[in-house]
Structure 1
Amino acid sequence: MTDLMPAARWYAPRDVRTEQVPVPVPLPGQVLVAVERTGLCGSDLEEYREGPVAIPPSAVPITLGHEVVGTVVECPGGEIALGTRVVPDVVVGCGRCWWCARHEEGLCPDLLVRGQQQDGGLARFMAADAATCVRVPDDLDVEVAAFAEPAAVAVRALRKAGDLSGAVVCVQGAGTVGQLIVQAALAAPATRVVAVDPVPGRRKLAQGFGAVACAPDEAVDVVRSLSGGRGADVVLECAGVPSAPAASVAVSRRGATVVLVGFRHATLALPWLDVVLGERRLVGTAAHVWDTDVAPAVALLARGVLDPRPLHTATVPLGRAPEAFERLDTDPSALKLLVAP
């Protein structure tokens, strides 16, 4: 193995460069993963557009990428056999605090996410913790397995929503995570799932999975017509735009649960009178845990409960990662771009 490898490095907004960097050396308890695919996420795009958002200035330049699947090529402790395909969990807690002791690493005050605060997977190789790598079944296509991280976000969001049996569910924003939530909610099983998005192609995709789809200005009427006039029992806000949280409250019924999934770097106004007097429950969700979120996501992908193939826009080589970010920023028909280092 050579001492250098190519990596896509973030320097500043709209400044992602592919350059040679040292191959990481796995520490005891870690593995070295030969990256096969890395998905570009909405949070990556936010960093590309206007970062640093989650990236600390001290980490710049940083290798982006936290949606990773690859093969173990080094394992100093022997925890995982070489050649095993894995999804490395990228959420790293300090291991010492109150939250980490409760297996809530995503809430750790000193949380590090590979690809945001540490070097990630937009590179030929990536170091990861052996204990939190999730094994991928041999017969699962690598470009399906590459959706494990966003599928884990969907799994965690729906756990926060509670029992969906018989529920009318509204998904605000039909991007990659929204589409995966649509599929998982229909399997839950929700009675009806409404996908709300301004892009006709994304609405058509959601309809193909079995959802009712509509534009944002139709959402309240459509949801009320499907719920006896009450509103949605559960709303999952995945749009990540400033207007979406308030729109999610507007489409929900009294006593509903609204799960905030979308990522934004802003302080937003909400209709608090409707939240308080309507006893709505607002829940945030972020990150994921390797065993309760990532492993179930891999299992759902392996069983075909989640089918991400219609969401796969293209796979590009690592050298075209900067172009891929620009495409995600300007092409509303693009959903998931995978990078093949």
Structure 2
Amino acid sequence: MTLTLILFYAFIAVVSVQIIYYLSFLFSFGIKHAETRIKKHIPISIIICAKNEAENLKKNIPLILNQNYSNFEIVLVNDSSSDDSLEIMEEFASNYNSIKLVNVKVSEAFWGNKKYALTLGIKASKHEFLVFTDADCKPNSNEWLAHLSSHFSNEKSIVLGYGAYAKKKFSLLNKLIRFETVMTALQYFSYANMKSPYMGVGRNMAYKKDLFFNNCGFSSHMSIKSGDDDLFINEVSNPSNTAICFTKESFTISEPKTSFKAWVLQKRRHISTAKHYKSKHKILLGLFYITQLLFWILGIVLCFIGFSWLWVTILIILRFIIQWFCFGFSAQKLKESDLIFWMPILEILLVTSQLSIFIINLISKPKHWK
């Protein structure tokens, strides 16, 4: 058997795995309808941990205070900021009884660890149901809290939401950031929908306080600088306790990074946590990424050497059609339809960027959450 034939058979296997993955996992979310079921307003504590976020606090706290929700408090956690964040938090706390302030001072043992600051914020909260977002996030509507909290029930103690990034015209980096965000959401929503939740994003998620304390908080991974959202959800979620919320009113919107370097630093922290996921999730996610990478490598090589070009072309087109359907349905749900046309270019950029970040992380580990 020649090397070229081996590459062709490997390409068939890679395309088959990708198609099976898209049709079995990701298509389940693509065809799911968003549920709107506003219930009685349960008491909610919103936890916002901020480090050097003075301007974002000024812009976004009023939007959260303006939520059409009858019973909530905001716990503002100042994580040893060096700008005016503490002063701005103090001003909000003095003007609104619904705001509680937690000031985390520099601790040598926990410096640079968001989990320590979040733990203090959770301990200071007075309600059982907790909603998490970041200082640079704004709710997409004044019904954000109502939509997210409505998914809590006797069975559901975790609610995973969508944290979008603002659109910027004429920016390929912005499209890449939003594409990666949609692909990530497509996966964690799909896995949760198939009763195998594995992560959420701290920009927009919720869980019950007793779930946190029964798990001893972040103690099992406190030494890892990132993972206050995905690692925690990976630990405590199970097939029956996790709900997903993706109505457009429930989104949060964040300002994306404006330089490739800043985005890479952010992704380095996120990617470094994946190796701590449960084994089944590491295997499935790893298999998806590896076959995604090999699809491009083998496809380009086989096209370049001209081996069985008709069959190679058919396999490439088949895989793209299925991918376009799955990604397209999800992008429409998440109001990111402008990315559909750019998908092939964005995918190859994302795959190569992730490979580069993985290699960089092998050489040096990211140190702080900010």
Q: Judge same fold: TM > 0.5, yes or no.
A: no
Please identify which structure carries the higher strand content: 1
Greater RCO (Cα-Cα under 8 Å, separation 6 or more) = 2
TM-score under structure 2 normalisation? 0.23
Larger helix percent: 2
TM-score by length of 1: 0.24
